[in-house]
Chain A
């Protein structure tokens, strides 16, 4: 193991103060499920690791003029929240499938987002829930829509002296339903080969799509929204051929840049997008009806 200094601030101001003090010599660590793996693998560590573990004030799931999820909320907390399960279903789908129970007990939502892997499980659901990231730094708070948060693979708009404190989701989800599919080679302990998140807003009679959001992970250098496919669905009456066409558009170069990697070939990933955009749309619609 590599040597590094490990600091444990007990409040946000301290954490930001430490970030400012050590500048680029420091890195943040929350659950550690990405950071420690990276240190072990690269045999390189920053001089200082600033742990956010004691910032327990940032562990919460609240509904109060919108949904507010603290950055240190663990995947397990999301998994066990009935509020998340019934109203932010896609996020529940994602959080409950991250790693194993042990990993979900320590891995945090903020960590998953700030690590900014193209495969981040919670990114797709948060994108279709139209989430906003709340960052705090020496100059105060700022809010960045998640769709503008990722700037590249493992890169975000977060400045080195900022801490992600919360994910905010707009309140009006009354006629929305959402779902996330993590496509894997086995049924647990896996990264997605491709991830598909869909949120639909339906008319009162559940027949018409009033709003649609589709997000894909592992389909581009960052988690992305599939806008052309979303636009295609808006205003349409929900039907198999319509959803199928949305899947086709989502899998096309208009929406994503799916590639062949060591883990999976491009043709297969594209096929899964074609199959699961409709399936997740149907599941999302089901969930609108069942709410």
Chain B
């Protein structure tokens, strides 16, 4: 099969970019519906309380109110969750966090809905609440769910860590903490819906996973699959939070009962109170190395605060456990992660699934070990970096595409220059500079479980090709990349591929846009579908041209004879010929990465088919009298296997660095306190460092054209690199994120 030059590895214009630029893109809140009702949830003001009575009478009589729903109105199963089903759409018995929805108002206007929501009378019996995951595990702790407050425990054990520490030349043991974070996507959650003439409930949504939404809404309503249709609208970012069922269920419930158009648009404040957060982690980590810097043993115990409901908590805990050691070979590992319910907001998926948190810990440990050994932080990483043939903590042997060494080598020159230049005291007597490295590995796809994708490629009698994919493009560019992969397989230009995307009536399941999986997994499904179509075309051509199949290739809408490219037959002719024979012109592709489940006791298994690797170098300037930190420059090397769309990779890296700077220095969601952007700080353009992206391509044999993924890896090394640079500057280390003004100043004041 030939690769069309320009299709793969080329930064073609992004699909839909012009629409975004001109404002033509239709986001969920933009759909003009006929006389729609506005939906508004009534949310709990208590973090833990029994619901004794919900009185909707007075509110129902208010002007403009169409109906007020409670749990009793849910015809199907009132329990949602993608991994474990523990979260009611509307609470029936008790609320578990501030923001838990107890009722849903449908009214003629937003204002009427809001007023009625305020008038719904809920009688609560306040229960003792627990906000600390360690407290939540105590015997006398208030029970948040009947099964207990421990949602999940993941162990990963390799060798005998306990005895290996005694043979280590140096051992460091520290506790690291991170905070809850808000995703802060540009577009607050929104959706709309109507009932089609055939009775189908159509829901337009800002979502990362339309097929999950589909099955969840069908189950909530107790209706057949075919009665629901989810269409992903243009989506302004998600970062994990739009993997949950945020407003889709509300819309489905209202459509089911009222049979008229509805819309549900969250304010920014509602996204703050109602949607998931990044898990706050407490990580006790002990790491030991020999005199030569080789890591021998790592033991860690992690408490993962998942808040009121599971959401993606189990996935976060599992991934944190697998990745806790970092991209290094460690013979003896003993990791335990406990995922715990509390009465904090729901913590769910957020770019990296626990890996950004553990990377902060393992990369701090690397620098601490280097310091004790008198070794350069670069050198200790290079010595321990995973390579082909390495065995991971879960006992998986890495067969190919292990690019961490190449990533480290890529930043080496910048690192050495920065190190020798950093002794400059900067522009003022109050500042000092520091340089730090952060490295990471990240398994592509879900952890030790099936997570297939499908796609369909169809050729019509004119020879035009359409790709059908359920893959939600939330701004990361998957629609463009999948078109490139289809084009590359079919020998066409990417803009010749017509795309039908993320509509559960028209496209098959591609799984979630999460876990950095769409390029690798859906990309492979697209390639599989396209390859099947190519085979049909070649087979027809063999028949006509009387030459062996392996002497033929696809190019520019023709099958051509490689020996004499003037001998060619148009796709349209071949398609028509196949049709006459009754051969399908639409082909389904499928890919499920080869993984094996993790053993519940030891964590052994092959959780991912491939891993992405990265390291960042950060240069910072710190004002030691005020705690202000300026991140001057980040050099970011990412092994993506193969960059299908290099500008897309660069975009992910720059966005990841921005998010990483926020995670490192300023972002913190304080439950019960943080209400809006007024008190939640994300970096602005002025806070951004210069970013130098370096794309490393250690080709993945199982990837589409060698590609892996970069969405989450982009963010992961930044905070560790910034924190290491900070301690390089200060001579003091910060163990609690964010390293905000107060924490940096305190550390600066403790300097010798």
> What is the interface of chain A, defined by CB distance below 8 A to chain B?
1, 43, 183, 185-191, 193, 262-265, 268, 271-272, 275-276
Contact = CB atoms under 8 A, between A and B. Distances in A.
B745 A186 contact: no
Given A262-B673, A275-B626, A189 B684 contact: yes
Nearest to A3: B111
Given A272-B626, A275-B625, A275-B626, A185 B684 contact: no
A57 B679 CA distance: 37
Given A183-B626, A186-B666, A268 B684 contact: no
A272 B625 CA distance: 8
B679 A187 contact: no
27 contacts: A1-B111, A43-B114, A183-B626, A185-B666, A185-B740, A185-B741, A186-B666, A186-B683, A186-B687, A187-B684, A187-B686, A187-B687, A188-B684, A188-B685, A188-B686, A188-B687, A190-B681, A191-B678, A262-B679, A263-B679, A265-B742, A268-B627, A268-B742, A271-B745, A272-B626, A275-B625, A275-B626
Can you list the 7 inter-chain pairs with the closest CB atoms, starting with the nearest? A187-B686, A188-B684, A188-B686, A275-B625, A187-B687, A185-B681, A268-B742
Interface string B603-645: 0000000000000000000000111000000000000000000
Contacts of A189: 684
Classify the interface of chain B: helix, strand, loop or mixed: loop
B481 to A, nearest CB: 32
B750 to A, nearest CB: 14
Contacts of B626: 183, 271-272, 275-276
A268 B745 contact: yes
Contacts of A43: 114
Interface of B: 111, 114, 625-627, 666, 673, 678-679, 681-687, 740-742, 745
Given A262-B673, A262-B679, A272-B626, A186 B686 contact: yes
Contacts, number: 40
Contacts of B679: 262-263
B742 A186 contact: no
A121 to B, nearest CB: 15
A63 B348 CA distance: 59
Given A268-B742, A268-B745, 8 more contacts: A1-B111, A185-B666, A186-B683, A186-B686, A186-B687, A188-B685, A188-B687, A275-B626
A276 B428 CA distance: 14
Contacts of B114: 43
A148 B455 CA distance: 72
A16 B687 CA distance: 44
A186 B688 CA distance: 10
A28 B673 CA distance: 31
Contacts of A190: 681
B740 A186 contact: no
A264 B682 CA distance: 16
A196 to B, nearest CB: 12
A99 to B, nearest CB: 11
A263 B678 CA distance: 9
A190 B686 CA distance: 12
Contacts of B673: 262
Nearest to A181: B626
A19 to B, nearest CB: 28
A263 B666 CA distance: 12
A21 to B, nearest CB: 28
B45 to A, nearest CB: 17
Nearest to B670: A262
Among the interface residues A183, A189, A276, which one has the most CB atoms of the partner chain B within 10 A? Answer: A189
A262 B627 CA distance: 19
Nearest to A193: B741
A183 B625 CA distance: 13
B685 A186 contact: no
Nearest to B118: A43
B132 to A, nearest CB: 20
B625 A186 contact: no
B751 to A, nearest CB: 15
Contacts of B111: 1
Nearest to B628: A183
Nearest to A187: B686
Contacts of B745: 268, 271
Contacts of A185: 666, 681, 740-741
Contact of B684 (A186, A191, A272): A186
A188 B686 CA distance: 7
B580 to A, nearest CB: 62
B458 to A, nearest CB: 46
A191 B685 CA distance: 17
Nearest to B662: A186
Contacts of B685: 188
Contacts of A193: 741
A217 to B, nearest CB: 17
Contacts of B678: 191
A186 B664 CA distance: 13
A137 B111 CA distance: 37
Contacts of A186: 666, 681-684, 686-687
Contacts of B687: 186-188
A33 to B, nearest CB: 13
Contacts of A183: 626
Contacts of B681: 185-186, 190
Nearest to B740: A185
A186 B111 CA distance: 35
B424 to A, nearest CB: 21
A1 B114 CA distance: 11
A173 B78 CA distance: 71
